[in-house]
Structure 1
């Protein structure tokens, strides 16, 4: 179905992701349209190869809006 929509120019843009280890060091990069499956993948603004095997700067992360407090309360029950 995505191929059908891409004929009309409605393709989703690629997003950048970094996989972090337990210490916050960047282990891998991935560019795709959906978030990768698995743990420790976070969305970043751009891919910079000099971040590989380094602690990812906080400014590189894309901050997602926090969930509504009521939603958090209901999910915590």
Structure 2
């Protein structure tokens, strides 16, 4: 029964990351569910092997996700 429930449960999607050196050149790629630990990792739209050891194009980066606080309606007093 657990197997059937797991088929319909929402799954966390894999995200792509690139490790950049201080000059902004791509040194490594990683495809994982959570951001990698350490400095130099940036989230990218997709992995392209021709970016390896090259400067990462600005269009490759994912825009940071903006989290907003939930707006609650004001209560009339």
**Is 2:52 the counterpart of 1:52?**
yes
Q: Number of residue pairs matched?
A: 64
After TM superposition, the score normalised by the length of structure 1 is: 0.74
d(CA) in 1 for partners of 2:15 and 2:61? 12
* Greater CA drift, 6-15 or 32-41: 6-15
By how many angstroms is 1:66 displaced?
6.1
Structure possessing the higher radius of gyration over alpha carbons: 2
**Is 2:15 the counterpart of 1:15?**
yes
Q: Larger % of helix: which?
A: 1
Alignment gaps of 5+ in structure 1? 69-77
Q: Provide the aligned C-alpha RMSD in A.
A: 2.2
Alignment gaps of 5+ in structure 2? 69-77
